[in-house]
Structure 1
Amino acid sequence: MTLIAIVADDLTSAGDGAAPFRDAGFPAVITFADEPRRPGVTAVDIDTRTRPVAEAVRLSARATATYADADVLVKTVDSTLRGHLVAEVEAALSASGRRTAVVAPAFPGQGRTTVGGVQHLKGRPVDRTWFARDPVHPVHRADLCELFPGAVLSAQVANLIGSVRYVVADAVTDRDLDALVAAIPGVEEVLWVGSPGLAAALARRHAPQAPAASPEVVPAAASRLLVVAGSLNPATDRQLTRLGAATGAEPVRVADTGAVERTQRRLARHGTAILCRPRRRVTGAPVPAALARATARLAQDNAFDALVLTGGETARTVLLALGARSIALAGELEPGVPLGLIEGAPGSGRLPVVIKAGGFGDLDTLVRLHDLLTATPERLPWSP
């Protein structure tokens, strides 16, 4: 089986990068640290989105070197160009021993396209959207050829492999990404740089002839679903409001007095609870840490039997607080929204968890995820 490695700067990028390969038939796992390599797809979360750039460079190089012999090597980037984009990719390319990085961050399924080398969100350059005001990593440039030194924008990518360090590829549809991947036969010479759109195209190209079996236990219908949201993206706020209206689960703010007890009562009485960040916008580690502590307390009492985590830093912090070592992916519920089973959490068995980037989805995404997770397993997309 083809060996595929994904180096991601946060947990949501690891999940939405690996999930298309799982859907294509590969076994796929997300790891948080150095784990023994497994067959199929390994996505490692190096957790560098909010770290200092020097540390991000070191971790990107180290992880890429570890997996440099993979048949397909992917360095994920945020599809709105947040994070230490150029520094991490440069470090990864140097550590990989590969000749050229093909930069294709389009994710058409979520409205993220690349036109003329400029990254767009729903038709607008990303540096003219909310992401220009992101409190942690504001996006000031959308032109990939300006960002990557010496980059060449070309529709003839295959002809440039080995002669330039960075090739930028336009894409506005999944077909464009499929054509890009198909045009490059020598994948071992390339470091692929992109988001879930590119991952899905690579998965379709390299799908195994004998797909791996789905997880031995398809998650049963959740009776106590906990949604934990730490993302600062306004899209998350709107999705939480819609979920609360649809389920009667009014969000509980983690900083409020008695937040854990209120959340536990709502899970017991209504089967769904929402635990989210304070109304006041606070950046940095305190909010994810507070959400993680609250979730761990709830887990000690077996208060929930399924999790939805939104926001990469929040998701990682919560899962580590639960003792998770890795996540075995089951499949994708929506584009860029994977479902997995937590591995290594003491006393939790293999708890189902959904991971979603804060900006992904439409107004009703969380409502649909709730309906899928609380329905019978036959409703899941990969069920026969």
Structure 2
Amino acid sequence: MSLNLVFADDLTGACEIAGIAHRAGLRTHLSMDPETAPVDPAELVVVDTETRLLSAAHAAARIQYFATELPSDCRLFKKTDSVLRGPVAAETAALARHLQRDLTLLVPANPAFSRHIVGGHYRIGTEPLHRTPFGRDPLNPITTDAVVDILGEWDGPGPAEPRSLPPHGELPSAGLVIGDTADVRDLQAWARRVSPATLPAGGGAFFTELLQPVPLATPAPPPPLDAPTLLLSGTTIPAQRALLQNSPDAVPLSLDELSRRGDTALTNWRQRVLRQVRRNNRALVYVEGEVSPDPSTPGRITCAHAFLAECLAASFDHKPWHLFIEGGATAAAIASALGRRRFGVRHAWGPGVVTLQPVTGPFPLFTLKPGSYPWPAPLHQHFFPTPSRG
């Protein structure tokens, strides 16, 4: 299938798709401004609609607004979260209505990361989805492993109830179908069932199978890792936070201190981070302590990270530097704070981990990673080197 446009609901999801297309040799442009045309010609445009954290009604309205100028024959893929966080049904329904696609085929799972849907139930490894850390997500907690229940009511074409089907099940003529996916053969089977009358949606693994074979370009070499570096982590995944906690370059942001001392705590933290970058050419920043169920807490953390990135940008002026960002909401806030909203793809390190170069200038480079994904081996070794035995 030939695709030329992707709508993603957050920035790391958009990066994942851009990286897949880049590795396939496609000229790819990523934009956080859906109404702005790319500066350079591109074979694929990936748009971050920033709808992950919106209500269903607001997300549908935003998608409908951005889709207004799209022709009904637009070759579009709707990138969703691989574990179905966010207003997935509302967004896909709005697109299906606008593009006049009776059938929406949603395949979110990624067997390469042990994310499977079998019999309509989502598992990560052997664990039901809601019993993994995704069940404790502070903004989008998953409360069941039944994919139909996670999605809720569908108000696009066809029946109001989504359906879960195996790869070779009989497809209805209209509605929302969530595809069972146990392995890569299931992904390939679902890709073969997408027709021009279908709206394809789901994760990066499904998108990979939908790409038509294209000549592979010689991959660009990775950017050097010797520039001053700031790694900002907004993830709440325990394993990812533990990596940062044990690094000698870590500068934690204490949620308890932030709650008690406010601006004073932020100022002290910023100074510690800048000293660490000047001393060792890098700092790794993460959140320390239990994340409060208060819905305002993630927003306060994100604002603190964006504020820190602005301070660092002022310190470096036009000198080379590199931002590594873990977590979609964190990445979007920082990119906006620095006035960088349109990018080309510089390098794809691995699944979901991509280095972007702003079209408005060479620095900073942005390397983005979903909070739940592991660091690719070269970056893991760079930030978390294995102690030598002696």
Q: Is the 8 A contact 1:74 1:191 kept in 2?
A: yes
Aligned length: 358
- 2:238 aligns with 234
Taking the TM superposition and a 5 Å limit, the aligned residue runs for 1:352-367 are 352-361=365-374, 365=375
> Partner amino acid for 1:201?
E
Match of residue 328 from structure 2: 312
Match of 1:150 in 2: 161
How far, CA to CA, are the matches of 1:44 and 1:68 in structure 2? 16
1:267-282 equivalences under 5 Å are 267-282=277-292
Range with greater deviation from structure 2 (314-323 or 58-67): 58-67
Q: Give the Cα–Cα distance (whole angstroms) in 2 for the partners of residues 101 and 295 of structure 1.
A: 39
Q: In structure 2, which of residues 36, 47, 50 is the aligned counterpart of residue 47 of structure 1? A: 50
Q: Point out the more displaced range, 47-56 or 1-10.
A: 1-10
- The within-5 A match list for 1:1-384 is 2-33=2-33, 34-37=35-38, 38-68=41-71, 72-146=75-149, 147=151, 149-155=160-166, 160=171, 163-184=173-194, 186=195, 188-203=196-211, 206-209=212-215, 211=216, 219-242=223-246, 244=247, 248-253=248-253, 255=258, 256=265, 257-282=267-292, 283-302=297-316, 305-344=321-360, 349-361=362-374, 365=375, 368-369=378-379, 371=381
**Match of 1:301, SS?**
helix
Q: Residues 219-262 of structure 1: CA distance to partner in whole angstroms, max 9, x if unpaired?
A: 233332210112223233123135x1xxx212332754522222
Instruction: Give the aligned residue type for 2:354.
Output: P
Give the CA deviation at 1:354. 1.4
Q: Which runs of 5+ in 1 are unaligned?
A: 376-384
TM-superposed CA distance for 1:69, in Å, is: 5.2
Q: Answer whether contact 1:111 1:122 (CA < 8 A) is retained.
A: yes
Conserved 8 A contact 1:252-1:263? no
Opposite residue 337 of structure 2, the aligned amino acid is: A
Alpha-carbon distance in 2 for matches of 1:121, 1:329: 30
1-structure distance, mates of 2:91, 2:243: 31
Q: Which amino acid aligns with 1:35?
A: T
Q: Which has the higher mean CA deviation after the structures are superposed, 275-284 or 232-241?
A: 275-284
Pick closer, same or farther for the CA change 1:61–1:373 going to 2, 3 Å.
Answer: farther
How far does residue 167 in structure 1 lie from its aligned partner after superposition? 2.1
Q: Is the 8 A contact 2:72 2:100 kept in 1?
A: no
Residues 317 and 75 (structure 1), Cα distance of their counterparts in 2 relative to 1, 3 Å cut: same
Mark the CA change 1:224 to 1:72 in structure 2 (over 3 Å): closer, same or farther. Answer: same
3-state SS, counterpart of residue 231 of structure 1? coil
Q: Is the Cα–Cα contact under 8 Å of residues 155 and 170 in structure 1 kept in the other structure? A: yes
Q: C-alpha displacement at 1:20, in angstroms?
A: 1.0
Determine the C-alpha separation between the residues in 2 that align with 1:156 and 1:277. Answer: 41
Q: What is the CA–CA distance in structure 2 between the aligned matches of 1:143 and 1:212, rounded to whole Å?
A: 40
CA deviations 1:96-125 (Å, max 9, x no partner) are 222211111111222211111222212222
Q: AA paired with 1:236?
A: Q
Give me the identity figure in percent. Answer: 25
For 1:212 and 1:59, the matched residues in 2 are separated by: 35
Distance in 1 (alpha carbons) for counterparts of 2:365 and 2:178: 37
Deviation at 1:214, TM superposition (A): 5.4
1:79 positional shift: 1.5
Contact kept? 1:226, 1:275, Cα under 8 Å: yes
Q: Does structure 1 retain, via aligned residues, the 8 Å contact 2:228–2:277?
A: yes
Distance 1:166 1:200, change over 3 A: same
- 8 Å contact 1:32–1:326 — kept in the other structure? yes
TM-score with structure 1 length normalisation? 0.83
Contact 1:222/1:306 (8 A) holds in 2: no
Larger radius of gyration: 2
Amino acid in structure 1 at the alignment position of 2:106: V
Separation in structure 2 between the aligned mates of residue 13 and residue 7 of structure 1, nearest angstrom = 9
Q: Is the 8 A contact 2:119 2:166 kept in 1?
A: no
Q: CA deviation at 1:31?
A: 0.8
Structure 2 residue runs without a partner (length 5+): 155-159, 259-264, 386-390
Contact 2:73 2:99 in 1 (8 A): no
Alignment-mate amino acid for residue 199 of structure 2: L
Of stretches 114-123 and 256-265 in structure 1, the one that deviates more from structure 2 is 256-265
Which one is further off, 249-258 or 98-107? Answer: 249-258
- Which amino acid letter does the alignment assign opposite residue 166 of structure 1? L
What is the aligned partner in structure 1 of residue 261 from structure 2?
none
